[in-house]
Amino acid sequence: MDLPFSVTGYTSRRMQDQQAVTLAEVLGADPSARFTGQIGGVTDSFFLRGFPINEGNLSEVALDGVYGVSPNYHLFTEYLERVEVLKGPAALLYGMAPNSSVGGVINAVPKRSLAADLTRMTFDYAPDSQFGTALDVSRRSGAFGLRFNGLHRQGDTPLDKQDARADVAALSLDWRGERLRATLDVIEQYQKVNAPTRPFLVAANLPVPAAPDGGRNVTQDWGWWRSNDVSALGHVEYDIAANATVFGDLGATKSDISRLSEQTPTILNARGDTSATPMHWKFQINRADADTGVRAAVRIGATVHALVATVNGYHDRIANASNAGTPVLSNIYQPVAMPAQAIAAPQRVPKLSESTLSGLALADMATLPGGRVLVTVGVRRQRVASENFNGATGARTSRYDETAVTPLAGIVFKATPATSVYANYIEGLAKGDIAPNTSSNAGQVFAPYKTKQYEAGVKAVRGDLLATAAVFQITKPSGQMYGTVYSADSEQRNRGLELALSGTAVAGVRLLGGVTLLDAELTRTNSTTTLNKRPPGVAKAQANVGGEWDVGAVTLTGAVTYTGKQYVNQANTQSVPAWTKVDVGARLRTVIAGRPTTVRAGLMNAFDKRYWGGVASYGTISQAAPRTLQLSAAIDL
């Protein structure tokens, strides 16, 4: 209620009751967010306020407020205490996102030790034969605390030919002294998927064919994907005075990925025939982050200032290589089994890029006399440095080194103790382009692109019910060719209205949902075929309506998700139709043999709707999952 931003938090209890596996299911309940990947695929990617986030090979999910330390492609909910979604650009708050996303920030908060000891076993099942076992242990002794979460899940999935395995171990240690507080989070997770799903491209000028059965899997059964992530994040803070604290973070992640499968099948015709080239890939991704700063509360007259100063540095290194096989033909409605190809693994995995993001930020949240007006101002100076390399020779092919300053101004007016009106102006940053070799100004380095947001909103609490409304405008520049000259004068503008409602409506009835309306437009392009058109993947309307109803010891649940028509290309000549999905479920909290037990059942996509569920910013489409039954039982030992 005191923040001049739109923020939504999803708790571990909510994730458990939803039986969410990764962030894909968690953010599916947010009307401002849409999942653009595919269940059974290799990454969780999203749109927030109509802009992509987490597309590509660098995770843009912050872990406990820090980029560069979360597992790279998927985050499992077993080790998450909370998922926070801050909507809109946030360069001042978190620094520049590793892959230049500007639609918002997804921050995953890991589980930490509880005041009371906990030992919980959870068993889950999903067709065809996917079984999982999870362990959650919390212990506390004085100032020292420990939390461990482990997961093993393996078996056939609801998708044809596909089986998957996940092994996760997450350890959190914490120290809560009188003046010193510290945490250490270590996560290792291994994933193995046979016949992983892939997004589709659609041939030019071809109307998008109707979506196939969600269980159909075009990937050959001899295709596979393997990923291993090891992450560590340490945090320490020390009270140097009653009103001042110094803090620091240090973390890193190492990700090793191998994949042998088709590379983005292309749909060729209305019959749904596809062509794809199998490739054997190897990736090595290293990321690290460090920051330090000071927080202080200062009273000047009748005004209280919460001051923060931070410096941070982020670094990533991407190495990859691939060998190609021969094209295979198939069909989205009747997949065709093709002979396995023995594609050799790359003999070496050369470095292709390195990037360093560093910055200095200063901010002040001032509570004015009377406590009803809060003013937040801040500024960050961000440096962006990156290099690209030739994989064969190791020679540097391009270099980028630029700086930019991004401000923040926000205000909150507490009209009543339960009603806040707010407004903000904040900027986001994306790495500027380097003019390509085909341009007459080849090699010109452009300053970082500044995304600008203006937002106003209201938050109101009535009992246990929270209602929010926000209007916003976001403009994001980019580069494009004009004849032979490359210029930084392309622009996308998103205007939106967000309405959300969450909490207890009446005793025993809880609601979670909202509506997002987006007026998105390519306001500057160099082609009349794309000017004033809608960007790919951005629907005009998105809505979520979810509810829970306690009926004695049983809680009945249901959710309806709607997404409007989405264009696949910038010329708006290809699109996927609007879709609506219904989920239903129930849970029972009881005591069995003296042990508190919660049994959950969920039927996702209850009516087995066939639809294209996501459109990525680069024009790929993903089929949605079929009707899926999920069962679980959690027992406190």
Say if residue 433's pLDDT is above 90: no
What pLDDT is recorded for position 515? 98
Q: Find the mean pLDDT for residues 470-489.
A: 87
Q: Find the mean pLDDT for residues 27-46.
A: 90
Q: Find the mean pLDDT for residues 621-636.
A: 96
Burial class (CB in 10 A: 0-12, 13-18, 19+), 269: exposed
**The two structure tokens encoding residue 574:** 């290809």
What pLDDT is recorded for position 445? 80
* pLDDT tens, position by position, 561-577: 999 999 999 999 999 99
Quick check: 621 and 614 in contact, CB under 8 A? yes
Burial class (CB in 10 A: 0-12, 13-18, 19+), 115: exposed
What pLDDT is recorded for position 223? 96
Q: Find the mean pLDDT for residues 179-188.
A: 98
Contacts of 203 (CB under 8 A, 6+ apart): 266, 267, 268, 269
Quick check: 339 and 330 in contact, CB under 8 A? no
Q: Find the mean pLDDT for residues 534-550.
A: 96
What pLDDT is recorded for position 20? 95
Residue 40 pLDDT class (50, 70, 90 cuts): confident
What pLDDT is recorded for position 38? 83
What pLDDT is recorded for position 513? 96
Quick check: 462 and 444 in contact, CB under 8 A? no
The C-alpha torsion from 275 through 567 and 29 to 604, rounded to 10°, is: -40
Domains and CATH numbers, the chain: 7-636 (2.40.170.20)
Burial class (CB in 10 A: 0-12, 13-18, 19+), 234: middle
Say if residue 482's pLDDT is above 80: no
Quick check: 172 and 137 in contact, CB under 8 A? no
Q: Find the mean pLDDT for residues 254-272.
A: 95
Burial class (CB in 10 A: 0-12, 13-18, 19+), 96: buried
* pLDDT tens, position by position, 43-66: 899 999 999 999 988 999 999 999
* pLDDT tens, position by position, 600-622: 999 999 999 999 998 999 899 99
* Average predicted confidence (pLDDT) for the chain: 95
CA nearest to 166, candidates 154, 156, 155: 154
CA nearest to 25, candidates 83, 99, 110, 112: 83
Q: Find the mean pLDDT for residues 86-107.
A: 93
* pLDDT tens, position by position, 438-459: 778 887 888 889 999 999 999 9
Single pTM value for the model? 0.95
Say if residue 132's pLDDT is above 90: yes
Percent of the chain clearing pLDDT 90 (strictly above): 90
Would you say the C-alpha torsion 152, 60, 49, 488 has a positive or negative sign?
Answer: negative
**The two structure tokens encoding residue 559:** 């959710």
Percent of the chain clearing pLDDT 70 (strictly above): 100
Residue 121 pLDDT class (50, 70, 90 cuts): very high
